[in-house]
Chain A
Amino acid sequence: QQQVRQSPQSLTVWEGETAILNCSYENSAFDYFPWYQQFPGEGPALLISILSVSNKKEDGRFTIFFNKREKKLSLHIADSQPGDSATYFCAASPNRIFFGDGTQLVVKP
């Protein structure tokens, strides 16, 4: 069964807009939520992460909002740039990591 679900499957925004990528999970034992960014032809790389004790994590233009009660989180990419065009994976872990199916983001100039 899918442990981590992401939506939308694909997203297109204009340069300068805020892209919002959604993620949900089922397992209450998950306590660590990394987001990975993958460019074509490359392996995923850690972008930003949050622990379940926090409800928000910021790193530059990237912000994770976390709602433990609803088991949902979202990645907000402010002032989106064409270089942000990539696939973003939400993941969750208590000790082993589970990946969602990814959101393919396209930022149009």
Chain B
Amino acid sequence: EAAVTQSPRSKVAVTGGKVTLSCHQTNNHDYMYWYRQDTGHGLRLIHYSYVADSTEKGDIPDGYKASRPSQENFSLILELASLSQTAVYFCASSDTGQGPEVFFGKGTRLTVV
């Protein structure tokens, strides 16, 4: 069973503070992704990576940085958290570029106050 583990599962951050969301996969997949989900909306791609030490911008990268230090680990960094970044964040992995199956973690609920 493919496994994508996110930590923490929930976090409250202060506006202007730094937040790091972590993701670990045991699927041996090359591709990893960070998505954001807001109430009533689908999944929007923030950053993705197809190889260690390299990241690519997704559709909504502003205000976010990503880091892929190894094949298994992929982090999302909010250098200056803002209220508008309150959302649920999902990490995912796949063995090809978005197909045939993307495996998601359980999500991190981030609240910025």
Q: With an 8 A cutoff between CB atoms, is A93 at the interface?
A: yes
Q: Which residues of A contact B107 (CB under 8 A)?
A: 41-43
Contact among B41, B45, B101 for A101, CB-based, below 8 A: B41
Known pairs A42-B106, A43-B4, A95-B97 / 4 extra A-B pairs, C-beta < 8 Å? A43-B92, A44-B43, A95-B98, A97-B99
- Are B42's CB and A97's CB within 8 A? no
- Give the A-binding residues of B (Cβ under 8 A): 4, 40-45, 90, 92, 97-107
The interface centre, meaning the residue of A44, A49, A101 with most chain B CB atoms within 10 A of its CB, is A44
Query: A71-103: contact bitstring with B at CB < 8 Å (1 yes, 0 no)?
Result: 000000000000000000100010111011110
9 chain-A/chain-B pairs, Cβ below 8 angstroms? A32-B99, A34-B100, A43-B90, A43-B106, A95-B98, A97-B98, A97-B102, A99-B44, A100-B42
Q: Which residues of B contact A9 (CB under 8 A)?
A: 40
Query: A1-45: contact bitstring with B at CB < 8 Å (1 yes, 0 no)?
Result: 000100001000000000000000000000010100000011111
Q: Which residues of A contact B40 (CB under 8 A)?
A: 9, 101
Give Cα A32 to B102, complex, Å.
Answer: 13
Q: Which residues of B contact A46 (CB under 8 A)?
A: 101-102
Q: Which residues of A contact B104 (CB under 8 A)?
A: 43-45
- Tell me the minimal C-beta distance from A25 to chain B in angstroms: 13
Q: Which residues of B contact A101 (CB under 8 A)?
A: 40-42
Q: Which residues of B contact A99 (CB under 8 A)?
A: 42-44
- Tell me the minimal C-beta distance from B91 to chain A in angstroms: 8
Give Cα A100 to B44, complex, Å.
Answer: 9
The interface centre, meaning the residue of B42, B99, B102 with most chain A CB atoms within 10 A of its CB, is B42
Q: Which residues of B contact A34 (CB under 8 A)?
A: 99-101
Give Cα A42 to B88, complex, Å.
Answer: 11
Contact among A42, A89, A95 for B99, CB-based, below 8 A: A95
Contact among A32, A42, A45, A89 for B43, CB-based, below 8 A: A89
Q: Which residues of B contact A97 (CB under 8 A)?
A: 98-99, 102
